[in-house]
Amino acid sequence: MNKSNRASLNQSNYNNNNDNYYSILEELAKSETPKFRSVKDSMDENLNLEFIRSSSENYTYKITSRGPVCYSAIYRDDKYVYRHIILSDGVRQYAENKVRKTNSFLTEHCIVNELQIDIGKGWKHFMIYDGKIRELILRKVLTSEDKLKMSINMHSN
């Protein structure tokens, strides 16, 4: 068997393996049900509906001097309120450089003053997904005011 026939056979086997892999993934996806639920079973199942139902087209949009950013809807569990802010390339590059230099999460001061991203008091940058800052993943402690709003929303639904 010559070199080109072997390469062709290897490519064919590679494609067949990928086809099998993707068909298995598709079958698993069909049987999978969404599991975006609250942390505690005792909490209301509809807790994060406003986030689940929100389209990224409805995200709040702001243009900073480093580029545009998009704010997600707010979602929560029994301890924290969460939101993520999607960053454009200019903002992302600055944020990644800042994290590299400080070897820590971004501070509220940096987010508000250097990145010019508006966030309320108490929001903390707490996670970097997959080692890259494509978005700022923020959370703040659920206050008694937030819990009251949640209680009112749960009773009005």
Q: Which helix (H) or strand (E) holds 152?
A: helix 144-156
- What pLDDT score does 124 carry? 96
Asked if 81 and 74 count as a contact pair (C-beta separation under 8 A), the reply is: yes
Distance of CA 25 to the CA centre of its chain: 22
Q: Which residues contact 143 (CB under 8 A, 6 or more apart)?
A: 122
The model's pLDDT over 10-45, given as tens digits with 9 standing for 90+, comes to: 444 444 555 666 676 676 666 655 444 444 443 444
Averaged pLDDT, 57-78: 84
Say what the pLDDT of residue 99 is: 94
Per the model's pLDDT, the better-predicted residue between 156 and 145 turns out to be: 145
CA dist 101 → 8, 73, 95, 123, 124 (Å): 48, 30, 10, 21, 18
- What pLDDT, on the 0 to 100 scale, is given for residue 145? 80
pLDDT value at position 129? Answer: 85
pTM: 0.59
Q: Which two tokens stand for residue 118?
A: 């508006």
**CA torsion sign, 97 to 102 to 104 to 105?**
negative
**Residue 146 near residue 81 (C-beta atoms within 8 A):** yes
